[in-house]
Amino acid sequence: MSNPHPVIPVEHQFKPGNPGGPGRPRKRVLSDRYEALLESRLPPEIAIAMKLPVGALWADAVATAAARLALKSTEAGVAQRKELREAIEGKAVARVEFSSDETIDIHVSFEDTRTLLSRKQTELLGAESAADRATDIEVTEESPAEELP
């Protein structure tokens, strides 16, 4: 039975600064062609038919068609509205709600990250130190709560 964890000779190990070796470059044959097409000029007859300015790009035509589809009151229109929103805002975050009859204490602590910035960066950001401004917040230090079993 062969060793499942053989010792690799030093000459075959990855060198510092080159953790994965050269490897094979990622091919994007179709994506590269899509990108080139979308950045090229739309034929004038298509631009005129879509009521776009002559000289518009294929990307303009695709975006216009997507927006027009999103206006329809069909399943395709609903799906397209979702696609456009996700392209602009990102996927919607799943919301989770918990409820309980028990009282729960929540302790929140904040770290003053201004100490990580140099004085010059703090001035550029217009941040003031806590001593420079009045505050109505009362801060008390508490020892960490004991861990539950």
Q: Considering the domain boundaries, does residue 120 fall inside one?
A: no
Structural domain range at position 46? 30-100
Q: Considering the domain boundaries, does residue 91 fall inside one?
A: yes
123 three-state secondary structure: helix
pLDDT in tens, 33-45: 999 999 999 999 9
pLDDT in tens, 45-74: 999 999 999 999 999 999 999 999 999 999
- Distance of alpha carbon 100 from its chain centroid, rounded? 33
Look-up of token digits 């294929």: 58
Q: Considering the domain boundaries, does residue 93 fall inside one?
A: yes
pLDDT in tens, 96-147: 787 888 887 878 877 776 666 666 555 666 655 545 554 455 555 555 555 5
Report d(CA 83, CA 100) in Å as an integer: 36
- What pLDDT does 134 receive? 47
- What pLDDT does 18 receive? 67
Q: Considering the domain boundaries, does residue 131 fall inside one?
A: no
Domain count for the chain: 1
Please tell me the pTM assigned to this model. 0.48
Query: Do 37 and 58 touch, CB atoms closer than 8 A?
Result: yes
Look-up of token digits 């069909």: 74
